[in-house]
Amino acid sequence: MALTEEPWLAWPEDYPELAGDEGPAQPWYRRRELHLALAVVVTILTVLFAGQRATAGARATLDNRLTAAGAGADAALVGIESEQLDVVRAVAFTGQVATALAARNGPELNTLVTPLQADSDVPMVDVVEPDGRVLLAVRSKGAPAPVASRKGLRALTQALASAHGVRGGRLSEIVIYRSGPTLLTISPILRNEKPVGAVLAMTPLADVLGRLSQEIDVELTAYDAIGDPIATTASFDPKPVPPTTAEAIIGGGPIVTRYAYADHREKLGRLIVDHEPDAVLGISLEDDSNVVGRMVSIYAGVGFLAVAFILASYLKRRQIALRWHRNGSGA
């Protein structure tokens, strides 16, 4: 019998008349069940591999975004420091401020300093005497209430001691007040080359992080030197950083990656204030890479099922056509 169909387009059992040539049983490596099982295994492995690769790619993209956001946060923080530095410079270099401070003339200080604070974005300005007594406190709406004294403030002692130094005693750092952690910039006020007090420009650290978070669109958390969270813009409570990890990061260690809460992936690096590491800064975002991987796996699986359906439909039609051809030839 001459065949007019391509044998490879159909299964061997579709040609019973050839059984005598091939023998009564097919070799194991030509069995249909084995081919179907291998196809299923290859399909499953391909779907899983596609999902894992998609997950890894999405997570790498997220890590790159977090790292870039950390650099952006440090750069933006320099801008806030500069704003506070401009205010303390303006107050310290205003001619009558030193005289009014030395004379403890609060009303005169108010007249001179309040307009300078109002023209800035700094919510808190204090003018203090050398012993820390607050002679004038100017506040924006919503800022923490004034206090009577800044006695014991290390930055005040340092600023007065270095008033004739290279930087004129001006410095910035993060301090912990009863009202909360605060970004402080301080400058001594000199009269006849003698410090008669200092001016403090301050912004609550929570407000600083909130401003930076809006600019770079990430969640930010500041941790102190022992790893406790002191301010955050996240909607959850970040878990503390192990003290040894916090110390290593502040000391110049590499960036650490962890999950701060549930699936919120966080990069931990140094919070640089006044060119020195002052705390640990955590930059976090929700990690949706697993969702991306699952969706890619689903799409790949649906694609394989569609291809299998099309091939099965095609082979079925070929089998029907072959049987019709044999029946027609036999007639």
Structural domain for 142, as ranges: 56-287
> Within a domain: residue 48?
no
pLDDT band at 211 (very low <50, low <70, confident <90, very high): very high
Helices 32-92 and 106-118 sit at what angle, rounded to 10 degrees?
140
Q: Which residue has the higher pLDDT, 92 or 318?
A: 92
d(CA 174, CA 92): 21
How many domains in the chain? 1
E-strand stretches of 140-263:
171-177, 180-191, 194-204, 219-223, 229-232, 256-261
User: What's residue 111's pLDDT?
Assistant: 95
* Residue among 49, 102, 100 at smallest CA distance from 300: 49
User: What's residue 323's pLDDT?
Assistant: 78
User: What's residue 138's pLDDT?
Assistant: 95
* Residue among 41, 61, 45 at smallest CA distance from 292: 61
d(CA 155, CA 142): 25
d(CA 72, CA 269): 12
Q: In the predicted model, is pLDDT for residue 274 greater than 60?
A: yes
- Tokens representing residue 256 in the block: 């650490």
Contact indicator for 204, 181 with CB cutoff of 8 Å:
yes
User: What's residue 269's pLDDT?
Assistant: 95
What does the pLDDT look like over 159-190, one tens digit per residue? Answer: 999 999 889 999 999 999 999 999 999 999 99
User: What's residue 200's pLDDT?
Assistant: 97
> Within a domain: residue 207?
yes
For residue 297, which amino acid is it?
A: S
> Within a domain: residue 174?
yes
User: What's residue 25's pLDDT?
Assistant: 63
pLDDT band at 105 (very low <50, low <70, confident <90, very high): very high
- Tokens representing residue 44 in the block: 């499953």
Classify residue 121 by its DSSP letter.
Answer: S
What does the pLDDT look like over 251-268, one tens digit per residue? Answer: 999 999 999 988 899 999
Rg over alpha carbons for the chain, rounded to the nearest Å, is 36
User: What's residue 147's pLDDT?
Assistant: 94
* Cβ neighbours around 120 below 10 Å, total: 16
User: What's residue 300's pLDDT?
Assistant: 80
> Within a domain: residue 306?
no
> Within a domain: residue 37?
no
* Residue among 86, 156, 142, 144 at smallest CA distance from 117: 86
Share of the chain above pLDDT 70, in %: 89
Q: In the predicted model, is pLDDT for residue 35 greater than 90?
A: no
User: What's residue 220's pLDDT?
Assistant: 96
Classify residue 133 by its DSSP letter.
Answer: B
Question: 1 burial class (0-12, 13-18, 19+ CB within 10 angstroms)?
Answer: exposed
What does the pLDDT look like over 294-331, one tens digit per residue? Answer: 788 888 888 878 887 887 787 778 778 787 877 765 55
> Within a domain: residue 13?
no
Q: Which contacts (CB < 8 Å, 24+ apart) does range 312-321 have?
A: 315/9, 315/10, 318/5, 318/9, 318/10, 319/10, 319/11, 319/14, 321/5
* Residue among 184, 186, 229, 241 at smallest CA distance from 208: 184
d(CA 28, CA 39): 16
Return the CATH number at 95.
Answer: 3.30.450.20
> Within a domain: residue 155?
yes
* Residue among 229, 231, 233, 230 at smallest CA distance from 210: 233
Q: Which residues pair with 124 in a beta bridge?
A: 139, 202
3-class DSSP assignment, residue 198? strand
Question: 186 burial class (0-12, 13-18, 19+ CB within 10 angstroms)?
Answer: buried
Contact indicator for 123, 203 with CB cutoff of 8 Å:
yes
User: What's residue 241's pLDDT?
Assistant: 95
pLDDT band at 19 (very low <50, low <70, confident <90, very high): very low
Q: Taking all residues of the chain, what is their mean pLDDT, rounded to a whole number? A: 87
> Within a domain: residue 10?
no
